Amino acid sequence: MTTAPDNPLQVHSNDVSTGRFAPHGEFRIWTEGDILYYDATGPFNLEALHALAAARVKIVQQWKPGRRIAALVHWHKSALMSPEAFAAYGQGLERFHESVNLPVALAWVASPDVEGMQLMINKFEELFARRKTNFRLFDDLDAARAWVNQCLDTVNGEPPST
């Protein structure tokens, strides 16, 4: 699992209540500089995607980067989701893009043993292409971070000092 720093801007999907049914799958979201990080552990049902949307709203309301941003998602166990959950993901992505400055890059990290990634990736790539999202899938976290930082440096210049 990706390690979140000791950061007050961190939200777990289990921390938000979205309905009467329990979510299957979970998301942990945090910020580091200009990057919004996610740990995603599936498989996912509709309630998990509603919890993701609520958690993302909660962190974005608190996060004020002041520069262009990027996102990095580290997938664990499974990327499978029901058709209803996938539709909710698309709606949540659209709302997220409308609520903040559009991320300059979206990197996903998934080892070859993440269940369903090969099945789901084409659907996600189509969604990202329609949203004009600069997206890449990696099997190595360091390579994903390097690409995201390169994309950020291109639009923002040097990273902010912390």
Read off the pTM: 0.86
Q: Are 41 and 110 in contact (CB under 8 A)?
A: no
Q: Is the peptide bond before 43 cis (omega within 30 degrees of 0)?
A: yes
* Structural Rg of the chain based on CA atoms: 15
pLDDT tens by residue, the chain, 162 residues: 455 555 555 655 555 555 666 778 889 999 998 999 999 999 999 988 888 888 888 888 888 888 889 999 999 999 999 999 999 999 988 888 777 667 899 999 999 999 999 999 999 999 999 988 999 999 999 999 999 999 999 998 866 555
Domains with residue ranges and CATH for the chain: 10-156 (3.30.750.24)
Name the residue with tokens 């599936």.
42
Give the pair of three-digit tokens for residue 97.
Answer: 């893009």
